[in-house]
Amino acid sequence: MRDNRAAAAAEMALIMPMMFALIFTTFEGGNYLLTEHRVLKSAREGARFAGRLNYSAFDCASGAVVGDFQTSPQITNANAIRNVMRYGNPEGTGRPRFTLQQGDDFTVTLDCPISSDTTTYHNNGIYRERGNVPRVLVNARISYNSILGLLGFDTSSVVVRGQAQAAVMGV
CA dist., res. 11 & res. 67, Å (int):
68
Q: By CB neighbour count within 10 A (0-12 exposed, 13-18 middle, 19+ buried), where does 40 fall?
A: middle
The answer as to whether 2 is a domain residue is no
The answer as to whether 60 is a domain residue is yes
The answer as to whether 1 is a domain residue is no
- How many domains does the structure of the chain reveal? 1
96-111 burial, b if ≥16 CB within 10 A, otherwise e?
ebbeeeeeeebebebe
pLDDT digits (tens, 9 = 90+) for 37-94: 999 999 999 999 988 888 778 777 776 777 666 655 556 788 888 889 989 898 888 9
Q: pTM score, two decimals?
A: 0.77
Interval 1-21 mean pLDDT: 84
The answer as to whether 66 is a domain residue is yes
Question: Which whole-number Å values give the CA distances from 77 to 58, 81, 90, 91, 99, in the listed order?
Answer: 9, 6, 9, 10, 22
* Residue 5 confidence (pLDDT) above 80: no
Residues 88 and 94 sit within 8 Å (Cβ to Cβ): yes
DSSP letter (8 states) at residue 18: H
What range defines the domain where residue 139 resides?
Answer: 7-167
